[in-house]
Structure 1
Amino acid sequence: MNDPDRTPVEDTRFGGITVRQEGQARIEVDGGGIPRVTLERDPAAEADPQIAIGTRDPGLLTLRIDGREARLTPAKATLTRRSYRVDVEYEGARYRLVPDSVPSSRLTRDGVHLGDFSCDGDEMVIAEWKEGVEVEPVDASVGYALASAFGTGAQPLWMMLTDAITDALP
């Protein structure tokens, strides 16, 4: 791991949570109050430098929560914010992390907004939980892992198109 002695982030609901990245090959999320999550990229797969975990291809990624495999489905990441979503199915629950502003992404479980995450695709993840919503320890594990692996936030389509047009002008 990058820094086994790394100081945990102090989550407002779950206490100390540590996110560790091993290059672009592996991400681990752990804490006293949450289940351990690991996300690994196939070591034979070429890593995309734009993505912390190195790929958005679900066939090259393995997500485990508390040692049990979960179904991970990242979208292709094209022009729209929604195309940057990442879905997880685990023990009957459906999670989605999807950008909802330039810096952050919204985490939902079965369509219920649990909180917002901010991360540049590194080990520093910030979670802001919604008031009045029951958030479970596994929700935190999934959110921290996805935010670290894929980053958060995205520009709206109109900003991307404006940038593309501006870049194309002489």
Structure 2
Amino acid sequence: MSTPSPFSYVAAQDPLFGVVDVELDHEGGTLVVDGEGIARAEVRRAAGTAVESHVPIGTRDPERLSMTVGGAEVPLRPAKGFLTRKSYRVDVGAYRLVPDSLDGSRLLRDGALLGVFSSSGDGRVSVEWKGEPGADDAAFGYALAAAFGTGAEPMWKLTLDALLELWP
């Protein structure tokens, strides 16, 4: 994933839901996803939070993040991210975004695959839908992919990187 730009606005053309607008302010800690065919989703980082450059929204600390979809607050729980792809998952209600390749992540609802998202961390998001996703599924998927990026290195690479960090 690339280092996020301070602010980006991207209009994605979704194959099922039309134009989806993604506004990501890495420095300000805000993300807004909206479109004619989906609910408005917002992710916000708390003021004063130390900003991590490798996370588009700036942090993975659930205590420092909030999320609303369609105006309703939802419980956002990103995992810490360390040695496995699964450790980079993000859970919110019945949804889970979990890396499954170097650049892609699966969106699941109650364990059922809805789509595979790709985002390089700069607000650009693409998706390959599976099954029959609804408008809320799209709102959650775009917001999570844009806020946290997608994909992760394989476990062997993450482990090697961690060991090399310990090497004097």
Max Rg structure: 1
What are the equivalent positions in structure 2 for 1:80-119 lying under 5 Å apart? 80-89=84-93, 94-119=94-119
For residues 161 and 2 of structure 1, the distance between their equivalents in structure 2, rounded to whole angstroms, comes to: 32
**Could you report, residue by residue, the CA deviation over 1:24-52 in whole angstroms, capped at 9, with x for unpaired residues?**
41000000000000000001212111111
Q: What count of residue pairs does the alignment treat as equivalent?
A: 162
Q: 1:12 aligns with which of 12, 15, 37?
A: 15
**Could you report, residue by residue, the CA deviation over 1:132-167 in whole angstroms, capped at 9, with x for unpaired residues?**
x12010100111111111110011112333456678
AA aligned to 1:41 is: R
Query: What's the offset of the Cα at 1:7?
Result: 5.6
The reply to whether residue 41 of structure 1 matches residue 39 of structure 2 is no
What are the equivalent positions in structure 2 for 1:18-167 lying under 5 Å apart? 18-24=21-27, 25-89=29-93, 94-130=94-130, 133-162=131-160
Q: Runs of 5+ in structure 2 lacking a partner?
A: 1-5
- Aligned sequence identity (%): 46
User: Contact 2:30 / 2:44 at 8 angstroms: preserved in 1?
Assistant: yes
User: Contact 2:10 / 2:123 at 8 angstroms: preserved in 1?
Assistant: no
User: Contact 1:56 / 1:74 at 8 angstroms: preserved in 2?
Assistant: yes
For residues 72 and 99 of structure 1, the distance between their equivalents in structure 2, rounded to whole angstroms, comes to: 17
AA aligned to 1:57 is: D
Query: What's the offset of the Cα at 1:115?
Result: 0.5
For residues 108 and 165 of structure 1, the distance between their equivalents in structure 2, rounded to whole angstroms, comes to: 32
**Could you report, residue by residue, the CA deviation over 1:66-114 in whole angstroms, capped at 9, with x for unpaired residues?**
111000000010110000000001xxxx000000001100000000000
TM-score by length of 1: 0.88
Regions of 4+ moved over 2 Å: 159-169
User: Contact 2:82 / 2:158 at 8 angstroms: preserved in 1?
Assistant: no
Change (3 A) 1:159 1:46: closer
For residues 75 and 167 of structure 1, the distance between their equivalents in structure 2, rounded to whole angstroms, comes to: 21
For residues 40 and 70 of structure 2, the distance between their equivalents in structure 1, rounded to whole angstroms, comes to: 5
Q: Runs of 5+ in structure 1 lacking a partner?
A: none
